[in-house]
Structure formats: C-alpha cells, structure tokens
Amino acid sequence: MNSIKYSFFVADCMNPFYNRDVISVNDFSKDELELLFRYADKIGDMSKVERLELARGSILAYAFFEPSTRTRLGFEAAMLSIGGSTLGMLGSKSTSMEKGESIKDTIRVIDLYADIIVMRHYLDGSARFAAEIASHPLINAGSGMEEHPTQAMLDLYTIQKEKGSIDGLRIGIVGDLKYARTVYSLIYALDKYDVRLDLISPNELSIRKEYITNLKHQVYEHERLDDVINELDIIYVTRIQKERFPDEQEYMRVKGSYVIDKKILDNIKSDAIIMHPLPRIDEIKYEVDNDKRAAYFRQVKYGKDIKAALLALIINEYI
C-alpha cells in the first residue's frame, strides 16, 4: 500500500476502503487511517437524516462465535445510524455449528445474506480464513488472541480527538500485554506513528516478543507502573485476568500493582488521558470516572463514529 494522500473531499478521489476486508490494522497505511479519522469527523458533524442515506438498503451480518455484547452493539448502532440494517448469530450454541457445520459453510451462507460481515471467532487465523471465503467485505471484530483492528482504529481516533494529534506522544500500555488481543492491534497501529511506547506489565504477562519483532520503533518495557506513569500522555489500561495465574495469591499481589485509583491521579500529567477497551472490572476504580482525564467512555462514543465511518467507506465507492 503506497502513501498517496486520499481525500473524500475531492470528487475524483479513490476510496481505499471500498469493498475491502478489515483483518489486521497492518493492512492499512497511516494515510488511510487518517482518511478514516477525517471521515469519522465528518460523520460526527452530519445530521441524523443525512447519515441515514449512507447505508440505505445495506445489510450488516454479524457472526459472533464468541460472546461480545459491547462490540456487537457498537457495530449494530453504527450500521443503524447510517440507515442500514443488521442481522446475525451469536455464540456457537444457537447455530448450525451445533449440528457440526464448519465455519467455512457458515460464512458462505451468511455471505449470501449480507452486504458486509462482522465476525468474532475464538481461533487464531479465523478472520483471514473467513475473509477469503466471503465474497463480501469482512471485518474482524476479534480473532483468537491475535488482533482486533477496529479497536485499534478507535483507540487511535480517541487519542487524536483528545490530544489533537498522535505524533510526539508518550504512550503507556498497562496490564495484561500477553493475552489481550486489543494490545497487539494497538501496538501495530501506533508503530505507524512517531510515538514513544512504554509497556508496563508483570513479568508473567509481558508482551509476546515474537509478535513485535517487526516494529519500526523501539518499545520500552517496565514492570513497575510508578516508574513511568508521571511521564505518560496516554495511559492505556487493560484487565488482568485471574485465570492467567496458577496461584491466586500471586494474582492478588500482581493485580494490585496496576490499579488506577484516585491517588494515582495526583501523579499523572494534568493533560494525560486514561483509556480502557472495556469492560473494566476493578483495574480502574469508579472514583476515577469523574476526572476529566478519564476518557474510556468518550472512547466508546468515538468508537461508534469510527465504526460508522468504516462501514460507510466500505459500502460506498464514492462518498
């Protein structure tokens, strides 16, 4: 993918998202991401009635082989807000999978019912595999432990909206960096920008090295949150899951070291922002929610706009 500047403002532009799969954030250039962000801005400024024309008569089908209320509802809300409609299937229990049907056949059938497919699946590689089968564009809403590209897109958009730009920032990602698929997509996306990336996690949950060997920029790893938190512009928090620890006491000890509470707010920059992919359990205390630096619910709002923009750009060749 070259780095020609696309623009939806120019009548004869090419829309690089048209009819395209969204499997990995690595498939998109920085210029393309910025086009997406500008278009999300534009959608955010449209009136309700204007937006309704963007996907009129188009159907989004969701195929979620793993539960996810939040992501599914986000895509549904985005599609409905641009005038399309939605249908889909949840979990493997209510589906033909029960009868032993392969993901291959399931996707082939759904492909015939929809103009665009949003899939989540518990297996690595499933999204790429499904996209090859489907004739319609497919959006990966989480595949195995690998990627969650639309989460990374909305994360970047959040940073840009909250901070004005992404380049030049110091960004810390905190918590479980080993198993959280959102983290990998985010790191790949940030690597397209000129940022300093600090990864803060317990040893047991540090980033899987084999997944970051191809990064352009160096990343800095830390075990103690206190060492860097006061220097960060972005504090991106993820959940530490109990089931990752063989020993519950070890879990309790570790977990406590990465909790964002009111005391920590005194140590962070006055213009820093705190992000979280949600759902959160107790890694960010409720007492933090009312601080203006707590951006995780604004992040959900930005996420809806990014999803609507992405869907509109994929569906409409000229926009």
Residues designated catalytic? 70-71, 99, 120, 148
Q: Are 163 and 201 in contact (CB under 8 A)?
A: no
The CA distance from 143 to 160, in Å, is 26
Q: Is 73 in the site for a second copy (CB under 8 A)?
A: yes
- Closest to a second copy by CB, 62 or 193: 62
Q: Is 318 in the site for a second copy (CB under 8 A)?
A: no
The CA distance from 232 to 217, in Å, is 17
In three-state secondary structure terms, 144 is coil
Q: Is 69 in the site for a second copy (CB under 8 A)?
A: yes
Q: Which of 13, 26, 42, 89 binds a second copy (CB under 8 A)?
A: 89
Q: Is 319 in the site for a second copy (CB under 8 A)?
A: no
- Closest to a second copy by CB, 28 or 65: 65
- Closest to a second copy by CB, 76 or 146: 76
Alpha helices in the chain (DSSP H): 30-45, 48-51, 69-81, 103-113, 126-133, 149-163, 181-190, 248-256, 262-265, 296-315
Instruction: Tell me the window of 14-22, 26-34, 52-60, 203-211 that interacts with a second copy (CB under 8 A).
Output: 52-60
The CA distance from 224 to 139, in Å, is 36
Cα 145 from chain centroid (whole Å): 13
Q: Is 262 in the site for a second copy (CB under 8 A)?
A: no
Token duo for residue 191:
């690597």
Minimum distance from CB of 195 to a second copy (Å)? 27
The C-alpha R_g of the chain, in whole angstroms, comes to 20
Q: Is 100 in the site for a second copy (CB under 8 A)?
A: yes
The CA distance from 186 to 183, in Å, is 5
- Closest to a second copy by CB, 83 or 137: 83
Task: Tell me, residue by residue from 187 to 216, as one string, x for binding to a second copy by CB under 8 A and - for no binding.
Answer: ------------------------------
Q: Is 94 in the site for a second copy (CB under 8 A)?
A: yes
Cα atoms in the 13 Å half-sphere on the side-chain side of 124? 4
Q: Are 202 and 254 in contact (CB under 8 A)?
A: yes
Minimum distance from CB of 95 to a second copy (Å)? 4
Pairing of strands 59-64, 85-90: parallel
- Closest to a second copy by CB, 1 or 281: 281
In three-state secondary structure terms, 15 is coil
Q: Which of 103, 114, 205, 310 binds a second copy (CB under 8 A)?
A: 114
Q: Which of 90, 219, 228, 319 binds a second copy (CB under 8 A)?
A: 90
Q: Which of 24, 86, 185, 238 binds a second copy (CB under 8 A)?
A: 86
- Type of residue at 213: T
Contact residues for a second copy, defined by CB under 8 A: 48-49, 51-52, 56-59, 61, 67, 69-70, 73-74, 76-77, 80-81, 83, 85-91, 94-96, 98-101, 104-106, 108-110, 112-114, 278-281, 286, 297, 300-301, 304
